[in-house]
């Protein structure tokens, strides 16, 4: 091997891309590649991209424009585009930006070494892309992501995921448990199980039965050292009784749930092909709160879906008021090529969407503030994750996923400590180590 070649990976988009980037680094590490934080030092640059909204996809081309001059400085440099933009428009990327050597879709990462050698486009959808793949290469950190399910069969009318990530595939439970055990052995204390519709998980169990996500979580909770479990992202229609019950029964399962609803009007939900109503979602949350009263709810919202009226948008605001979210993500509708909604007429004017987004975000911001302020004066467990902004300060996470800043020492990283919550900022809490 000629010296050690260096890989730089830039990740856009969701947590699954973060995990995939670690897997790609693992695949290349097995071929003798080291990772670097500096694109100028790299012999291979990988952009792991996101196609969910137009803005996310556009970032790729501007970043490629910035990286192009590096090729003149290092003639051996290879540039590859991975992720959902590669899946959706791999051939076009190579045409539009000749500095790109290859494009690889999210299901073809096991073919990375070949693409680095030969160039080209790989967008095949594999059944189990992780089978036989080298383990993930991750930074030492007490919190880790672990993909258990990929793809989506729901076909919400606005969403590219069913096309870029393919059909729902669940990894066998035994593979997930092996990986979770390896993480625990590296000192990981908190694991977030990932999937586009993670609560639709139905993997082959080691006992020959079909395992649900709840069953998988119960098995992960048994692993020594893994004290905190989270999962994301969920679809309301897959919130099964056993999963709701797990929230009430398992101390390891953290009281935070990201459960996107997208809109509050049944007409819009129907047009979005969500297959649930606003009322159904609200009753579901009642059942989840009955099982785990302190659960922090989070969600995703789209404003300005084609045909959305002012009255329909106000139904979204009404739903938000009823739920009282601890945190949420909200977006202006973005027409995505190939999706049914992109072919619908009746677009909402951009200034109207922008105004609705601002109103929704004001309300969600108030709710987030109220949630955090409501915690002040309480005591909770915090897992210390990394240094904070100021000297002597560390930042950890509450059970409800909120960042908590406190004075602590760097050798407490990975420790779960009891903390007095003494203050709230718009996005975080201030705490003090409890006596
Ligand atoms: N336009 C705007 N937002 C979208 N999302 C998905 N597709 C689109 C789109 N075309 C949002 C949804 C989803 C989150 C990951 O991104 O709210 O839950
Ligand atoms: Fe996209 Fe989620 Fe709907 Fe699947 S359930 S189509 S990933 S928004």
Distance CA 339, CA 426 (A): 36
Q: Looking up tokens 């595939």, which residue turns up? A: 169
With a 6 Å cutoff on the Cβ, whether 196 touches ligand 2 is: yes
Residues 68 and 99: beta-carbon distance below 8 Å: yes
The DSSP bridge partners found for residue 229 are 191, 253
Q: Which residues line ligand 1 (CB under 6 A)?
A: 52-53, 158-159, 260, 262, 300, 302, 331, 333-334, 336
Distance CA 93, CA 58 (A): 11
Per-residue pLDDT of the chain (435 residues), as tens digits, is 456 899 999 999 999 999 999 999 999 999 999 999 999 999 999 999 999 999 888 899 999 999 999 999 999 999 999 999 999 999 999 999 999 999 999 999 999 999 999 999 999 887 778 888 999 999 889 999 999 999 999 999 999 999 999 999 999 999 999 999 999 999 999 999 999 999 999 999 999 999 999 999 999 999 999 999 999 999 999 999 999 999 999 999 999 999 999 999 999 999 999 999 999 999 999 999 999 999 999 999 999 999 999 999 999 999 999 999 999 999 999 999 999 999 988 999 999 999 999 999 999 999 999 999 999 999 999 999 999 999 999 999 999 999 999 999 999 999 999 999 999 999 999 999 998
Residues 361 and 325: beta-carbon distance below 8 Å: no
Task: For the beta carbon of residue 389, count every other beta carbon within 10 angstroms.
Answer: 7
In Å, what is the CA distance from 82 to each residue of 9, 112, 381? 10, 9, 38
How high is the pLDDT of residue 205?
Answer: 97
Pocket test for ligand 1, best of 12, 52, 258 (most atoms within 8 A of CB): 52
Return the ligand number nearest the Cα of 17. Answer: 1
Q: How far is the CA of 220 from the centre of ligand 2 (A)?
A: 25
Q: Looking up tokens 């979204």, which residue turns up? A: 316
Distance CA 360, CA 35 (A): 41
How high is the pLDDT of residue 264?
Answer: 98
How high is the pLDDT of residue 58?
Answer: 87
Distance CA 336, CA 120 (A): 25
Residues 319 and 268: beta-carbon distance below 8 Å: no
Supply 327's token pair. 């945190």
Q: How far is the CA of 230 from the centre of ligand 2 (A)?
A: 19
How high is the pLDDT of residue 383?
Answer: 98
With a 6 Å cutoff on the Cβ, whether 275 touches ligand 2 is: no
How high is the pLDDT of residue 1?
Answer: 45
How high is the pLDDT of residue 57?
Answer: 82
Distance CA 221, CA 181 (A): 11
Cis peptide before 358 (omega within 30 of 0): no
How high is the pLDDT of residue 3?
Answer: 63
Distance CA 169, CA 82 (A): 20
Residues 407 and 391: beta-carbon distance below 8 Å: no
How high is the pLDDT of residue 94?
Answer: 96
User: Phi/psi at 17 (nearest 5 deg)?
Assistant: -65, -35
The DSSP bridge partners found for residue 45 are 8, 79
Nearest Cα residue to 406 out of 378, 429, 374: 429
Return the ligand number nearest the Cα of 158. Answer: 1
């Amino acid at each position: 091997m000629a010296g050690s070649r260096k890989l730089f990976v830039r990740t856009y988009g969701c947590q699954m891309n973060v995990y995939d980037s670690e897997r790609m680094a693992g695949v290349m590490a097995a071929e003798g590649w080291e990772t670097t934080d500096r694109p100028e030092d790299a012999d291979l640059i990988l952009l792991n991209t996101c196609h969910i909204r137009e803005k996310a996809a556009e970032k790729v081309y501007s970043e490629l424009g910035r990286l192009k001059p590096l090729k003149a400085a290092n003639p051996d440099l290879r540039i590859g585009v991975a992720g959902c933009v590669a899946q959706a428009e791999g051939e076009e990327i190579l045409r539009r930006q000749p500095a790109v050597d290859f494009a690889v879709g999210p299901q073809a990462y096991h073919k990375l070494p070949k693409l680095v050698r030969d160039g080209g486009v790989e967008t095949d959808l594999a059944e189990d892309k992780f089978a036989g793949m080298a383990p993930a290469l991750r930074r030492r950190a007490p919190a880790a992501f672990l993909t258990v399910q990929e793809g989506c069969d729901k076909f919400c009318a606005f969403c590219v995921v069913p096309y870029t990530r393919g059909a729902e595939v669940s990894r066998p439970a035994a593979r997930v448990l092996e990986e979770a055990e390896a993480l625990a052995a590296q000192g990981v204390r908190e694991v977030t199980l990932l999937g586009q519709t993670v609560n639709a998980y139905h993997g082959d169990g080691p006992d020959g039965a079909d395992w649900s996500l709840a069953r998988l979580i119960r098995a992960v909770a048994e692993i020594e050292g893994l004290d905190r479990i989270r999962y994301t992202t969920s679809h309301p229609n897959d919130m099964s009784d056993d999963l709701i019950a797990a929230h009430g029964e398992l101390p390891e399962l953290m009281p935070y749930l990201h459960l996107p609803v997208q809109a509050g009007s049944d007409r819009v939900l129907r047009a979005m092909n969500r297959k649930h109503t606003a009322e159904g979602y609200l009753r579901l949350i009642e059942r989840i709160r009955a099982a785990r009263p302190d659960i922090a709810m989070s969600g995703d919202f789209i404003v300005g879906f084609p045909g959305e009226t002012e009255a329909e948008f106000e139904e979204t605001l009404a739903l938000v008021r009823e739920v009282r979210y601890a945190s949420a993500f909200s977006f202006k509708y973005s027409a995505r090529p190939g999706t049914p909604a992109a072919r619908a007429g009746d677009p909402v004017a951009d200034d109207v969407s922008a105004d609705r987004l601002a109103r929704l975000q004001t309300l969600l911001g108030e709710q987030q503030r109220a949630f955090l302020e409501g915690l002040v004066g309480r005591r909770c467990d915090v897992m210390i994750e990394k240094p904070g902004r100021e000297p002597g300060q560390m930042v950890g996470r509450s059970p409800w996923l909120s960042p908590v800043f406190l004075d602590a020492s760097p050798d407490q990283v990975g420790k779960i400590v009891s903390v007095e919550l003494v203050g709230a900022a718009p996005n975080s809490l201030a705490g003090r180590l409890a006596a």
